[in-house]
Amino acid sequence: MELVVSLAIGVLAGAGVWLLLRPRTFQVILGLGLLSHAVNLFIFSTGGLRSGAAPILRRGEAGTLADYADPLPQALVLTAIVISFATTALLLVVPLAARGLAGTDHVDGRERDR
């Protein structure tokens, strides 16, 4: 499971960084989305990767560290998803305005001279 999750994080982060460095605003936005997915997965994985482990024990149940999931990263990842989603939505307004003002979707607001 560790291998699959770390591969997923790596691929998402790599693709995100590549897209972030592209010259079109649409690609930059997609790149930010992928990067924040990678970061969210990363936060989730810091709580330890276990399947079938409960974060909250039933009354009277004696928990051991082996079958216990840390609930805090799960709460944090929720906050992180909401915040990164909201800021990306906020960002969307700016490329639209730039497209209208500059007439191009290049991140510098003008095409590079060829």
Partner 1 sequence: MSGWQDHLLIAPILLPMLAGIAAILIGDRSRTATRAVGLASCLGLVALSAALLAMADAPLVRVYRLGDWPAAFGIVLALDRLAALMLALAAALGLAAFVFSLARWQRAGSHVHPLFQFQLMGLNGAFLTGDLFNLFVFFEVMLAASYGLALHGSGIARVRAGLHYIVVNLVASLLFLVGVSVVHGIAGTHNMADLAARMPRIAPEDRALLEAGAAILLIAFLITAASWPLGFWLMPSYAAASAPAAPARRR
- Binding residues for partner 1, rule: CB under 8 A, are 20, 25, 28, 32, 35-36, 39, 42-43, 46-47, 72-73, 76, 79-80, 83-84, 86-88, 90-91, 94-95, 97-98, 101-102, 107-109
Q: Report the nearest approach of partner 1 to the CB of residue 98 (Å).
A: 5
Shortest reach from residue 97's CB to partner 1, in Å: 5
CA 7 – CA 36 distance, rounded (Å): 15
Least distance from partner 1 to the Cβ atom of residue 76, Å: 6
Least separation in angstroms between residue 109's CB and partner 1 is 4
Q: With respect to partner 1, which residue has the nearer C-beta, 54 or 97?
A: 97
Residue 57 DSSP class: P
CA distances from 114 to 6, 110, 111 (A): 40, 12, 9
